[in-house]
Amino acid sequence: MKRFLLPLITFLLLVGFLAVGLRLDPREVPSPLVGKSAPEFSLPQLHEPEKVFSPKDAAGKVWLLNVWASWCGGCKDEHPLLMQLAQGGEVPIYGMDYKDRPEEARAWLRQWGNPYRVTAVDETGRVGIDYGVYGVPETYVIDRSGAIRYKQIGPLTEEVVTRTILPLVKELQDK
Amino acid sequence: MIPEVGHFALILALCVGIVQGTLPILGAAKGNLAWMRVARPAARSQFLLISLACACLAYAFAAKDFSVLYVAANANSQLPLPYRLAAVWGAHEGSLLLWTFILTAWMVAVTIFSRHLPEAMRARILAVMGLVSVGFLSFLLSVSNPFERLIPAATDGRDLNPLLQDPGMVLHPPMLYMGYVGFSVAFAFAIAALLGGNLDSSWARWSRPWTTVAWCFLTVGIALGSGWAYYELGWGGWWFWDPVENASFMPWLAGTALIHSLAVTDKRGSFKVWTVLLAIMTFSLSLLGTFLVRSGVLTSVHAFATDPKRGLFILAFLTLVVGGSLLLYAWRAPRVGLGGGFSLVSRESLLLANNVLLVVAMGSVLLGTLYPLILDALGLGKISVGPPYFDAVFVPLMTPAVFLMGIGPIARWKKAELPELGIRVRWAFGISLATALLLPLVLGKWTPLIGLGLLLATWIATTALTNLRERLTRLPGESVFSRLTSLPRSYWGMMLAHGGVAIFIVGVTLVKGYEVEQDVRMNIGETTTIGGYTFRFDGAQEVRGPNYMAARGTFHVSKNGQEVARLFPEKRLYTVQNQTMTEAAIDSGIFRDLYVSLGEQLEGGAWSVRLYHKPFVDWIWGGCLVMALGGAVAIADRRYRFARREEHQGVSAASQAAGQKVA
Amino acid sequence: MTPWLFLLLLIPGAAVADEAKPLADNPHVEARLKALAVELRCLVCQNQTLADSNAPLAEDLRREVRVMIAKNMSDQDILAFLVTRYGDFVLYRPPLKATTILLWGGPFLLLVVGAVSMAIALRRRQKKLTDGSLSEEERLRVERLLNHKDSSPA
């Protein structure tokens, strides 16, 4: 009479997957760029538009690339954390102002503080496409060789910073 | 104060539900009549209590009581009253309350229409439904309380999701839930029969009308949802294989299989084990649908409640209900008899084959819906499974199913002969093939899919006519009319429902094959012609709605110089949630829809405009309505009414034999 | 709105004419874009295709795809461009690979399982019925008796 148990077994298998699925965030899309080298670009700087910023300028160190915009609500949520991180000085943070008006971005930074060494301006969002940006804010950890090691989609949280990003940065710096 | 009354009513209903779910079952097991008789009054008082709770919530919405969290989150002082009332089921908590309300309404229906049932059977049925309601009520009271207070009260509410501010959305959830929850009756019948060990053909006959009614509601509910997507989302699509759509489609497929399997069990006593499994499966899929929509495990436009705690609760409940029933099934099913015999080629086996196809189709939809989740759970990456997959999988599975749909009703019960069957349908097949090959050429374009669609639709129609003609020649009677009217309603119901499928296929085939879409940039006074219709844009004005601002465009549509319609598509900005909505304007017709939606305003009063000419698109929903109508006609069959009265007098077997002769 | 304005720049001298202009300057490119975009998932609004979505990112990606089409890139190359940036998630038609074999083969497998179990069930049934089967009349009689017992209150 084992065959009458088959529906039950199939169902329990399904429940197992659903239970695991409950703990996952369906909106989070892992980036295929992790492990690959950060796409090259050359964009004008926010505060000195005549100068450009390119990932090459940060080559040789471990750094964070934070994609943000003045119109993005989540960016304000994570902003205090970025300020803290910048003051701590463990890792340099570079910003990418994504699909934004430079004057509004500058005003935003004046109001809330500027955690970035340099902010590059991606007004059209073209470079954002190369980085697979789909939900601002996003944060990338890039290693000495220029490869992306981690990507955070959505606002940083205390937990992500202390449990994931800082240990990873330390490990990469020690290498 | 009123919300607290509602909250208290829910708590009382839970207590009543616990009694209803336990005493009658114990009574039925021990033969204690008094305990069994608790079921009926308990079910009715539960219904009254839940109705009271619903009324309290509706009152809170009507009175704009923004001290209730749920009201503040889903209404606004500017929101018109009808939408405020519909907001009762506009989000998670309220839609679960609606679910429970409909469940108790079905319970009351069972207490009214079950006088012919043995006391023990009725007690068990109501107890099973009571247990389901206990699950939902504890869910409501623990993690989804619609009466939770917001202190301090909000000055104004956050408004109802603009997507839901539409008449179609007002009706869609109640209809859909009537279907979902209606399958709980068939489920309760099956569990009661398993518990009582009386899984026989009278069980099948009793649950048939209930299953059919639920199926009708589900059919209409799905059609309403699809119609809503068509005109509300602004891009003219009517089915997207979205997880939530799939969640309603899976119980529909299983329910369709159940209806056919019940017919065999009722008339021939066969497939009992399979039928009871299908009854469990259909309701389980309804619960699974609720889980998928409410837990947020899958991304979807609809999944507005994403709370892991809630998901965990529903999953635990799902495991308990479905796991328990399947365990009961594994324990009891082996002892069930086989019923009437039949040969390998017979109406029984054709129906069984169709059942297998429907369940395989359902399984494929389930697979496609859950596969991304399973991969993710195993850490194997994220993928998307969308329309290209489902179209590729579904059409090949449905083609043989529709083919069998033509033959099944023609084949004899018990034993049919293949060569003879072939001869009887050769004309039907010839006509279908000719239509499939030639009609598209007349319409202007032939593709394999158009040909296939027309082949299947004509096949259903011509085999139905063959069937009708054979029936009529066999029937006694003077005029054709009197012979037509002497055919039982269940027969007409089947013909209508199958005809609905044919109409649906015509709609899908022609709109996919011949629709024309045009994205244009229109200045005031400019024209565009598609499908023979000329659209002239006469500019857009600003209009004010109760809770939105809109730009309303004016289009004159003419054909051969004659005005056909004036269309007023809108681009609305709902101010509270700062959300823009595209309200398409549609001129519907039997043979075509003209569809206009506004894109963005460009400089100088010009607009980007999307225009569609959609031939036969309304046949899609028309077909669904005809299917549901077929179900309604079938349950009006004399057989059920006679059976009910006569069984009441205790002569059920005679009526069953009589029923068999008529049908 | 800005993306549409951008498009406008591409339309040379959008003069007021009686016949409305198609939004796209090149219908050929637009047809290919449409064919591609209906099978791509918009990442921002996640349950719409790239063709239907009005999200700004969708607009940008459509613009990007138009540029690639104009450069005469093949469909595979365009899809590869998107997949390297966003992963398989953007494809509504999952690519056939080791992890999706069950997805694509599943329905067929289910059909085979269904057909085989139906055949087994029918054969088993035939065997059981031929050992001591009841005639139709006997079956009805048994059922009548059983029904009778059920309908009286237990």
Tally of helices (H runs) and strands (E runs) in chain B: 22, 10
Return the pLDDT at A74.
84
Asked if A33 and C84 come within 8 Å (Cβ–Cβ), the reply is yes
Rounded to 10 deg, the angle between the C27-37 and C75-86 helix axes is 50
Return the pLDDT at C131.
60
Of A29, A33, A99, the CB nearest to C56: A99
| Residue C121: pLDDT band with limits 50, 70, 90 | confident
Could you tell me if A169 and A90 are in contact, meaning their C-beta atoms sit under 8 angstroms apart? Answer: yes
Amino acid at position B36, single letter: M
Other CB atoms within a 10 A radius of the CB of residue C59 amount to: 18
Angle at CA B366, nearest 5°, toward B365 and B372?
Answer: 100
Evaluate the omega torsion of the peptide bond into residue B388 and state whether it is cis, within 30 degrees of 0.
Answer: no
The tens digit of pLDDT for each residue in B85-121 reads 999 988 888 989 999 999 999 999 999 988 888 889 9
Residue C143 pLDDT > 70: no
- Phi–psi pair at B303, nearest 5 degrees: -70, 80
| Residue C4: pLDDT band with limits 50, 70, 90 | very low
The tens digit of pLDDT for each residue in B326-341 reads 999 999 888 877 777 7
Cα dist. B606→A147, B518, B586, C59, C108 in Å? 47, 16, 21, 19, 51
- Phi–psi pair at A50, nearest 5 degrees: -75, -20
Q: Write B591-595 long-range contacts (CB < 8 A, 24+).
A: B591/B615, B591/B616, B592/B531, B592/B616, B592/B617, B593/B617, B593/B618, B594/B533, B594/B535, B594/B557, B594/B564, B594/B565, B594/B567, B595/B236
- Residues of chain B contacting residue C122, judged by C-beta atoms under 8 Å apart: 344, 349, 352
- In this predicted model, which residue has the larger pLDDT, A23 or C83? C83
Q: How far apart are CA B627 and CA B355, in angstroms?
A: 18
Return the pLDDT at A26.
61
Q: What is the pLDDT along chain A (175 residues), one digit of tens a residue?
A: 577 888 899 899 888 888 877 776 666 666 788 888 888 898 999 888 888 898 888 888 899 999 999 888 888 889 999 998 888 888 999 999 998 888 999 999 999 999 998 999 998 888 988 888 887 889 999 988 888 988 888 888 888 888 888 999 888 888 7
| Residue C137: pLDDT band with limits 50, 70, 90 | low
Q: How far apart are CA C74 and CA C71, in angstroms?
A: 9
Q: How far apart are CA C144 and CA B118, in angstroms?
A: 15
Asked if A27 and C46 come within 8 Å (Cβ–Cβ), the reply is yes
Environment class of residue B137 by beta-carbon count within 10 Å: exposed (0-12), middle (13-18) or buried (19+)? buried
Chain C nearest-CA distance from A131, in A, is 6
Asked if C100 and B388 come within 8 Å (Cβ–Cβ), the reply is no
Return the pLDDT at B587.
93
Nearest to A167 by CA among A153, A149, A155: A149
| Interface mutation target, options A126, A129, A140, chain C, most CBs of C under 10 Å | A129
Q: Which residues of chain B have pLDDT under 70?
A: 295-308, 640-663
Asked if B200 and C144 come within 8 Å (Cβ–Cβ), the reply is no
Torsion of CA B62, B67, B69, B73, to 10 degrees: 60
Q: How many CB pairs under 8 A join A and B?
A: 68
Could you tell me if B632 and B493 are in contact, meaning their C-beta atoms sit under 8 angstroms apart? Answer: yes
Return the pLDDT at A71.
87
Q: How many CB pairs under 8 A join B and C?
A: 186
- Residues of chain A contacting residue B326, judged by C-beta atoms under 8 Å apart: 7-8, 11
Residues of C near A (Cβ–Cβ under 8 Å) read 43-44, 46, 56-57, 60-61, 64, 83-87, 89
- Residues of chain B contacting residue A19, judged by C-beta atoms under 8 Å apart: 315
Question: pTM of the predicted model, to two decimals?
Answer: 0.88
The tens digit of pLDDT for each residue in B136-188 reads 999 999 888 999 888 888 888 888 888 888 887 788 889 999 999 999 999 99
Cα dist. B307→B149, B294, C150 in Å? 19, 8, 46
- Contact partners for chain C, using 3 or more CB pairs closer than 8 A, are A, B
Closest residue on chain C to A129 (Cα)? C85
The DSSP bridge pattern shows strands B592-601 and B585-588 to be antiparallel
Closest residue on chain A to C58 (Cα)? A134
Of A11, A26, A30, the CB nearest to B322: A11
Supply B378's token pair. 């195993």
| Residues B490, B496, B502, B507, CA torsion sign | negative
- Phi–psi pair at B487, nearest 5 degrees: -70, 140
Chain C nearest-CA distance from A9, in A, is 16
Could you tell me if B201 and C150 are in contact, meaning their C-beta atoms sit under 8 angstroms apart? Answer: no
Return the pLDDT at C147.
63
The DSSP bridge pattern shows strands B607-615 and B516-522 to be antiparallel
Residue C132 pLDDT > 80: no
Q: Does A125 touch chain C (CB under 8 A)?
A: yes
Residues of B near A (Cβ–Cβ under 8 Å) read 273, 277, 280-281, 284, 291, 295-299, 308, 311-312, 315, 318-319, 322-323, 326-327, 329-330, 333-334, 370, 372-374, 376-377, 381-382
- Residues of chain C contacting residue B339, judged by C-beta atoms under 8 Å apart: 139
- Residues of chain A contacting residue B299, judged by C-beta atoms under 8 Å apart: 26-27
Q: Does C137 touch chain B (CB under 8 A)?
A: no
Asked if B200 and C143 come within 8 Å (Cβ–Cβ), the reply is yes
The interface residues of chain C toward chain B in range 68-127, judged by CB-CB distance below 8 A, are 87-94, 99-100, 102-104, 106-107, 110-111, 114-115, 118, 121-122, 125-126
Return the pLDDT at C13.
37
Asked if B381 and A18 come within 8 Å (Cβ–Cβ), the reply is no
| Residues B76, B79, B85, B88, CA torsion sign | negative
Cα dist. B511→B149, B223, B238, B620, C27 in Å? 49, 16, 11, 9, 22
- Phi–psi pair at B459, nearest 5 degrees: -60, -45
Q: Does A14 touch chain C (CB under 8 A)?
A: no
Return the pLDDT at B158.
83
- Residues of chain A contacting residue C46, judged by C-beta atoms under 8 Å apart: 27
Closest residue on chain B to A28 (Cα)? B382
